[in-house]
Amino acid sequence: MSMFKLNLKIALRNLWKNKSITSINVGGLAIALAAFILVMMYFTHETGFDKTNPNYKNIYIVGRIYPEFKTNYTSPPLLKAIMQNFPEVENGGLVKEGSYELPLRNGNKTVITKSFMQIDYNAAKILNIKPNGGLGKPAGEMDRLTYLNEAGMKTLFPDKKDNKPEMVGVGSSNSGITSKINGAIANNLQSSITFDAISLANELGQGESYGYNNYYTYIQVKPGTDIASLEQKITKLYQAEVSKGETDEKRIDEVKKVTTFLDLLGNQHLRPKAGNDAPYKILIAISILGILILIIASINFTNLSIAQASKRAKEVGVKKVMGAYRFQLTTQFLTEIFIQCLVATVLALMLAELLLPSFNNLFQVNLSIWSVKNNLIWQLPLILVLITMIAGIYPALVLSGFKPALVLKGNFSTSKQNYWLQNSLLVFQFCIAVTFIIGLFVVNSQLKYMRSQDLGFNANQVVYIKNIAIFNNPAKFAPVREKMLKIPGIKAATVATGVPDGSGNGTNGYTVNGTKSSIDFVDVDFDYFETLNIKLKEGRFFSQAFKTDTANSAVINESAAARFGITNAVGQTIRGCDMDYKIVGVVKDFKAQGFESAVQPTIYAIKNPCGNQKLQIMLKIEENKMAAALAALKAQWPEINAKDGEDFRYEFLDELYGKLFKKQEQLQSVFFAAAMLTIFIAILGLFAFAKYITNGRTKEIAVRKILGASDIQILTLINSSFLVMVVVANIISWPIAYILTSKWLETFAYRIDLPVFPFVISAFITIFLAIFTVSLQARKSVNAKPIDALKYE
């Protein structure tokens, strides 16, 4: 114990004696650790989705693979066939997403359920969905149990203490529709299955055929099941079921091209097979950035500790002569490093707490440092020990290994091995900084390109109105349109099954001239293309002057014409959903799904027996009359659209579309922070290292000045070695940055060519900062009088 106290006292004295170096060490490490803590918490949160489900490793979603795309949507009969044929499947259930926001009322209190999910009893069991008071089973085949999330229940019934059912109004206050809410349900925020309310049935999809592909099928398999084999068996079953009774050989061949897949529940949040894995790639990128920032801070630590070695040489020599063992000296030096790491960790926690609100806002999460769920309670002590070992073990071994006879005679000098190690570590730091700078400029360039590119449609001044009235019949929407167009400033109005906000459309099989392909469909009304300012390539848009447009006319996009290999599309027939459409126009491709996915071949029709519900109202409004028009719409909405009543809700389409850039904007912010951090930490290390080097060359500088060297010549001499290191760091980093940024750009269907500018500017920035930092530090030694450095020689 007395030895530990002595080591602690010596450590504290040495740290205090070298306050500037200690501050640089602790400060740099604290900043890096704060960034790493935030990244760790985010990684733990993002990879923890669905893990509260005890069977999450055995739960899969069943999806289909077409030659052109993958989808998680399946039909109800497939689940029945799977349950009847494969004993390795323990349970299976169906889920159907709600298609619109539904207002629920209790007196003057209203909640808007943004996702009203339909789910059967078996799916609720598989997905561990438990209402407060337990999962109940509906009494009859047609009965439903409805549960609202806890926040919604609290809003509608603030004084409610029990979990008894309550009656609520549905839709507008004068709709007269009521429904029973059977209880509250806690919504798991760390689940890929999210909802505001659920409608629980014994069974979903009764009587629906294989053509109704708008359900999610979840299965729970027995532990140890061969998933690849089960996938193949389900594919054969699906092909046999869909081909049953089919005699057309061409149709049978088409069915055989469709296969099925199983995708783990745990994959759905970050990297679904039928979806975008950009969130996973960005999470990995952010995690690597966090690790690299911590590494360069540890490198700083190692570098500066080795640089301090010469000052500690005589201390080590005296201790060894007095009988100290190398192990004791190593322990002493590791104690010093541990104290610095401990202080840095405490400071890092404080800094992370200050940065957390901004971090939560950027990533749309609700993380807390003081939550047990974030695993910091065991991760931080482990990191503290690891940093102490990584940053301290080599310097401690170097310091404890000095030979007493040499150092006490004054013949000590750091070995060439140490010199090369220090330089290599400094080069490595700048390599990381250069890579981040290049990454930042490339991300900026791609985002600038995305924001400035012609989307093929104009989202500006377009208002998307959220609505619960279904307008599949154009005659039903006509009076609503007429009333809206009477409001000054509203130039165009339409309704459709979807808005161009990056969300997927429905798909179906269509045939032109014997060529069949699955393409997207969007069911629209008159003025759809005019409202969005979509450009016409050939033919015409839908027009009320042509009565056939509401019966069998269709417009396709350029990609659809290319898919079917038709050049003069207007006037040709396209068959789908057991009816023939006449193509009246071809529109130019527009980026409804954003920049990561290529424009999908799409058919637009006013009538579609296999279509979805037309709910999405879009209005084109003059900019200078926007506020007045929205106010008038809100006031007149109960009269214009009685079913919606007073629930007038809207979003600006350009803001909605802008959310597609959210992940890339997050990456931009992270790269900016990482670039600033790595440059800052690398410059801190360079500053301290330059101080050590110039202090060691004080006498050399004095002699050179006496021999006539100018200040510029001496500064050039001191800068030259550091300049070489920075240039080497750039040369090493460029191919690495090129590969990484090229891989990232490949995730976009529409992207920039990799520019040269980021590589040039990264070299300029790092070289300038290195020269400035070293010159700033060396100025004191250069300006010093030679006699002060040589008077004791």
pLDDT at 322: 67
Distance CA 352, CA 347 (A): 9
pLDDT-derived band at 775, boundaries 50, 70, 90:
confident
Q: What is the dihedral of CA 738, 743, 745, 748, to 10 degrees?
A: 170
Decide the pairing of beta strands 579-587 and 553-557.
parallel
Mean pLDDT confidence for 100-107: 85
3-state secondary structure of 641: coil
120 versus 376: the higher-pLDDT residue is: 120
Q: How many domains does the chain have?
A: 3
Whether the predicted pLDDT of 407 surpasses 60 = no
What is the chain's mean pLDDT, rounded? 85
pLDDT band at 404 (very low <50, low <70, confident <90, very high): low
pTM for the model stands at 0.79
Q: What is the pLDDT of residue 261?
A: 95
86 with 217, same domain?
A: yes
**Do 1 and 86 belong together in one domain?**
no
Residue 158: inside a domain: yes
Residues 100, 13 within the same domain: no
Nearest CA among 625, 602, 614, 589 for reference residue 463: 625
Confidence of residue 349 (pLDDT cuts 50, 70, 90): very high
Range of the domain at 72: 56-267
pLDDT at residue 722 in the model: 83
Is 241 a domain residue? Answer: yes
Task: Please tell me the distance from the alpha carbon of residue 170 to that of residue 414, in angstroms, as a whole number.
Answer: 80
Check whether 295 has a pLDDT greater than 90. Answer: no
Q: Which residues contact 353 (CB under 8 A, 6 or more apart)?
A: 369
What CA–CA distances, in Å, run from 700 to 533, 725, 729, 786? 74, 22, 28, 10
pLDDT, residue 760, reads: 94
Whether 43 has a pLDDT exceeding 80, the answer reads yes
Q: What's the CA gap between 652 and 592, in Å, rounded? A: 15
* Cβ atoms of residues 484 and 633 within 8 Å: yes
Q: How far apart are CA 305 and CA 394, in angstroms?
A: 9
Q: Is the pLDDT of residue 558 over 60?
A: yes
Rounded average pLDDT over 528-548: 94
Last residue of a domain, one of 391, 414, 437: 414
| Of residues 408, 387, 234, the one with CA closest to residue 317 | 408
C-alpha to C-alpha distances, 570 to 528, 573, 587, 758, nearest whole angstrom = 19, 9, 11, 47
Residues 195 and 262 in one domain: yes
Q: Can you give the pLDDT at residue 667?
A: 80
- Whether residue 247 is found in the same domain as residue 362: no
Distance CA 131, CA 186 (A): 7
Quote the CA–CA distance of 31 and 21 in Å, as a whole number: 16
pLDDT tens for 698-723 read: 677 777 777 777 777 877 877 888 88
CA dist., res. 765 & res. 683, Å (int): 12
Q: Nearest 10 degrees: CA dihedral of 638, 642, 646, 650? A: -100
Under DSSP, the state recorded for 140 is S
Query: Stretch 589-593: mean pLDDT, rounded?
Result: 92
Q: What percent of the chain has pLDDT over 90?
A: 39
Which is more confidently placed, 5 or 84? 84
* Token representation of residue 614: 């037309």
Q: How far apart are CA 87 and CA 679, in angstroms?
A: 59
Tell me, yes or no, whether 173 lies in a domain: yes
Residue at 597 is within a domain: yes
pLDDT of 412: 47
User: Residue 630: pLDDT above 90?
Assistant: yes
C-beta of residue 569 within 8 angstroms of C-beta of residue 561? yes
Summarize the confidence of residues 648-662 as an average pLDDT.
88
354/381 same-domain check? yes
Same domain flag for 259 and 304: no
Q: Are residues 221 and 258 in the same domain?
A: yes
**CA 394, CA 385: separation in Å to the nearest integer?**
15
Range with top average pLDDT, 198-212, 410-424, 531-545: 531-545
Q: What is the pLDDT of residue 465?
A: 92
Q: Which of 156-170, 340-354, 404-418 has the lowest mean pLDDT?
A: 404-418
| Higher-confidence position of 188 and 343 | 343
**Per-residue confidence band for 11, with pLDDT thresholds at 50, 70 and 90:** low
pLDDT higher than threshold 90 for residue 230: yes
Q: Is the pLDDT of residue 287 over 80?
A: yes
Q: How does residue 403 score in pLDDT terms, banded at 50, 70 and 90?
A: low
Label the pairing between strands 490-496 and 506-512: unpaired
What is the spatial distance between Cα 630 and Cα 462, in angstroms, rounded to a whole number? 12
Write down the H helix ranges in 263-325: 278-307, 309-321
Angle at 641 between CA 640 and CA 646, to 5 degrees: 100
Report the alpha-carbon distance of residue 787 to residue 792 in Å, rounded: 9
Whether 726 maps to a domain, the answer reads: no
Model pLDDT, residue 690: 74
Q: 287 or 404, which is more confident?
A: 287
Instruction: Please report the sign of the dihedral spanned by the C-alpha atoms of residue 590, residue 595, residue 599, residue 603.
Output: negative
Q: From the DSSP assignment, how many helices (H) and strands (E) are in the chain?
A: 23, 25
Please indicate, yes or no, whether residues 497 and 405 belong to a single structural domain of this protein: no
**Residue with token string 């509401």:** 550
Structure tokens at 573: 């027939």
Encode pLDDT of 448-496 as tens digits. 999 888 899 999 999 999 888 889 999 999 999 999 999 999 999 999 9
DSSP reduced 3-state for 219: strand
| Candidate from 360-369, 575-584, 596-605 with smallest mean pLDDT | 360-369
652 within a domain of the structure (yes/no): no
Paired tokens of 217? 């099928």
Report the alpha-carbon distance of residue 46 to residue 107 in Å, rounded. 39
Comparing 613 with 306, the larger pLDDT belongs to 613
Query: What is the pLDDT, as a whole number, of residue 279?
Result: 83
484 and 375 inside one domain: no
DSSP per-residue letters across 26-76: HHHHHHHHHHHHHHHHHHHHHTTTTTTSTTGGGEEEEEEE-SS-EESEE-H
C-alpha–C-alpha distance, residues 284 and 439, integer Å:
15
3-state secondary structure of 344: helix
Q: Which residue has the higher pLDDT, 517 or 621?
A: 621
> Where among 208, 240, 267 does a domain terminate?
267
Domain assignment present for residue 231? The answer is yes
Within a 13 Å sphere around the CA of 599, how many CA atoms are in the beta-carbon half?
21
DSSP assigned state of 143: -
Dist CA 43 CA 501 (whole Å): 27
Rg (CA), the chain: 34
671: in domain: no
Residue 170: per-residue pLDDT: 85
**Phi, psi at 648, each rounded to 5°:** -85, 115
Give the range among 361-365, 470-474, 705-709, 761-765 with minimum mean pLDDT. 705-709
Same domain, 215 and 317: no
What number of other Cβ atoms are within 10 A of residue 329's Cβ?
A: 22
Whether residues 513 and 478 share a domain: the answer is yes
Banded model confidence at residue 175, pLDDT cuts 50, 70, 90 = confident
What is the pLDDT averaged over residues 675-682?
82
pLDDT over threshold 60, residue 406: no
Tokens of 430: 């700048």
Q: Which helix (H) or strand (E) holds 264?
A: strand 259-264
State which of 620, 646, 672 marks the end of a domain.
646
Asked whether 437 and 762 are in contact (CB, 8 A), the reply is: yes
Q: 739: part of which helix (H) or strand (E)? A: helix 711-745
